[in-house]
Amino acid sequence: MKPLLGTFYLLGMLVPGWLGYDRSLTQQRQEVVGKVVSPWRILETYPYNRYHPMGEIYQWMSEIREKYTEVVTQHFLGMTYESRPMYYLKISQPSNNPKKIIWMDCGIHAREWIAPAFCQWFVKEILQNYKDNSRIRRLLKNLDFYVLPVLNIDGYIYTWTTDRLWRKSRSSHNNGTCFGTDLNRNFDASWCSIGASHNCESLTFCGTGPMSEPETKAVSSFIESKKENIACFLTMHSYGQLILVPYGYTTNKSNNHEELIQVGQKAANALKAKHGTNYRVGSSADILYATSGSSRDWARDIGIPFSYTFELRDNGTYGFVLPETQIQATCEETMEAVLSVLDDVYEKYWYTNSAIKAKSTALVLSLLMSVMSLL
């Protein structure tokens, strides 16, 4: 029965409009508000190369948690402005090893649909491969992954029901005459000093104060509580094909700037090797524009050493409305970049046993040689 369903589903994917993938507005409205219209029956056939409304993402999280109970737990972060629950997935291989945390969030800006698609892809890749793939298995020995597939849930839903190009949250201001805070200007990092607006009408409205928004509060209080153990903070956006390091609020550089650039450049090279896509690496102020109150800058300033913003495909041809036909390639190449960063983070904290042995051997040999030269 199941293979048959799988075949039907694959056929369904070829026929646009079949199996509920007709993208009419009413259909979407049904999908998003918790009532789930999910054509896939088993997780194996979940289409990672399509965009999914929030209802489906919530359901996907439950199914992932149920299927991979040995390594996945689902956790509550907080409520959005419109009272929706924010959940993150924790992927952790139970062990006595000391662990460092890798944080990844997607969809802080509602219209950047490729970002939540990548978060889902990332989770799928880790879970489908952690048993067989030595690279991922190694990472999971000492790293825990915390993934927030959609940070700005209210905004994301709004892009499905009303305005595809909405960016901000859906908080209400000025007596209900103006909506939305740019959540990536709302963090407490030189808040609203540059590249942001005090005017609610603006798309870079920084909010009524640093961390004024419930979504920002939920994320920041959690990160703050775990910051000693967080090695890497990744926040996924689109578009522009960039890997950004701190800062946006100043052209000054973080004290580990060289290292961040080096790791970032290596990741960009790994990304390019996959499908030839060019990414540029640099500080936000240098290669993008000045911004204040970003989550990346805030994370770096509270002490998280590796803090990156990824701006995914493309370069402006489709921009936010990236075709679904590009999801797979984008996710594959981005996966290479993220794994490259994670490898470097891993190397930094845990030398492999062979590396330690090699170093010790080299040390002993050099001591011996210096002693012998004295004889």
Q: Which pair of structure tokens corresponds to residue 18?
A: 């079949």
CB of 197 to another protein, least distance (A): 5
Backbone angles phi, psi at 146, to 5 degrees: -115, 115
> d(Cα 36, Cα 230) in Å, to the nearest integer?
34
CB of 192 to another protein, least distance (A): 6
Report the length, in residues, of the chain.
Answer: 375
CB of 178 to another protein, least distance (A): 9
User: Which residues here bind another protein, judged by CB under 8 A?
Assistant: 23, 50-51, 159-160, 164-165, 167, 182, 192-195, 197-199, 201-204, 251, 276, 278, 280, 282, 285-291, 315-326, 329
CB of 22 to another protein, least distance (A): 11
> d(Cα 241, Cα 313) in Å, to the nearest integer?
5
Identify which of residues 38 and 193 has a Cβ nearer to another protein in the complex.
193
Identify which of residues 26 and 278 has a Cβ nearer to another protein in the complex.
278
Identify which of residues 166 and 308 has a Cβ nearer to another protein in the complex.
166
Identify which of residues 235 and 291 has a Cβ nearer to another protein in the complex.
291
**Active-site residue among 311, 324, 333, 336?**
311
C-beta neighbour count of 117 within 10 angstroms: 29
CB of 293 to another protein, least distance (A): 11
CA 177 to chain centre: 32
> d(Cα 194, Cα 217) in Å, to the nearest integer?
21
Q: Is residue 332 annotated as a catalytic residue, yes or no?
A: no
CB of 203 to another protein, least distance (A): 4
Identify which of residues 27 and 142 has a Cβ nearer to another protein in the complex.
27
User: 155: which residues sit within 8 A by CB, 6+ positions away?
Assistant: 107, 109, 110, 166, 167, 168, 169, 170, 180
Instruction: With CA atoms as reference, report the closest residue to 152 among 78, 60, 64.
Output: 78
Q: Which pair of structure tokens corresponds to residue 100?
A: 């460092």
CB of 62 to another protein, least distance (A): 24
C-beta neighbour count of 334 within 10 angstroms: 25
Identify which of residues 87 and 166 has a Cβ nearer to another protein in the complex.
166
Identify which of residues 130 and 241 has a Cβ nearer to another protein in the complex.
241
Residues known to be catalytic: 311
